Amino acid sequence: MAEPKSSPNDAHLRGYLSEEAAEVRGYVRERYAVALRSAEEASERVTTIFSEWSWPAEWSDSQIAAVALWVRAMTAFQSAILLAERALIAEAQVLVRTGAECLFYSGALHFDPELLNRMHANDDRHRRTQANAIVDNSRLLSRTSPEHAEFLRRLAATPQGSIASLSVEQAAQKAGMDDLYQFAFRGYSFTAGHATLRSLEFVTLDDGEQSGIVFGPTFVHVEQTLNTTTTFLVAAESLLRRMIEARPGPVTGHDA
């Protein structure tokens, strides 16, 4: 199948919502069949294991948070596959990065439940930073209700706790996934997660014959993105199996 060309008029009106979307998806599924099949099979394998796991009746807060973060990671990885299938590669990489972050924290909590306190410190720090920024700006504060403004003032005045927050890199190290952090998470932060010049390769064209800005499907790094997603899905499966081994329940497939 030849690489599809978006209709200028249709793309101008609807962008990635244009009628060519189905054609693009078909092209990706054919051209990158092996990489796509590997990602889908890895996803199906790990979600099947999860669906057949009957959870223990009582869990600690850290156990609940670890599994919930794992689910968030899986949601992001599956969403990345859907976007890659539609040639939204930069956006797919952003979701892989988000899923990776959730997976790192999930693994960190699994191996060290006491880290939940440091994650609470993360949340408190972010909320306090936002509250201070609004309280210190009279224009922003005036746009809130009196009740919410008072809430923000109290939050901004909350003393910073003594517990250190937990960075993404520290979480990855605790989870035993430092290699994934250094290679994939950092890489996707640079290529897609932030407004860097490198990230512009997904919306620019320079093939030696023509150059310009492209608002439409891009096939740059499709296979690499799908393969990276598969790598994270394999890591997610490994972590899930460790969770099941640590907190086993009767695997029935229907009683969870």
Along the 256 residues of the chain, how does pLDDT read in single tens digits? 666 655 444 555 577 887 778 889 999 999 999 999 999 999 999 999 999 998 777 889 999 999 999 999 999 999 999 999 999 999 999 999 999 999 999 999 999 999 999 999 999 999 999 999 999 999 999 999 999 999 999 999 998 888 888 999 999 999 999 999 999 999 999 999 999 999 988 888 766 665 678 777 888 899 999 999 999 999 999 999 999 998 755 443 333 3
| Residue 87 φ/ψ region, left for φ over 0, alpha for ψ in the -120 to 50 degree band, beta for the rest | left
What does the block give as tokens for 63? 């156990």
Tokens describing residue 166 = 């937990």
Give the pLDDT of residue 94. 98
Beta-bridge partners for 204? 213
pTM: 0.88
Residues 6+ apart with CB under 8 A from 105: 69, 119, 166, 168, 171, 175
For 172-204, letters b (16+ CB in 10 Å) and e give: bebbbbeebbeebbebbbebbbeeeeebebbee
The dihedral region occupied by 212, where left means phi > 0, alpha psi between -120 and 50, and beta the remainder, is: left
* Tokens 């993105």 sit on residue: 225
- Residue 182, pLDDT score: 98
Which of 11, 38, 40 is closest to 23 using CA atoms? 11
pLDDT value, residue 211 = 67
Residue 134: count other Cβ atoms within 10 Å of its Cβ: 19
User: C-alpha distances in angstroms, 96 versus 18, 83, 101, 193?
Assistant: 25, 11, 9, 10
Cα–Cα nearest to 217, from 196, 203, 199, 200: 203
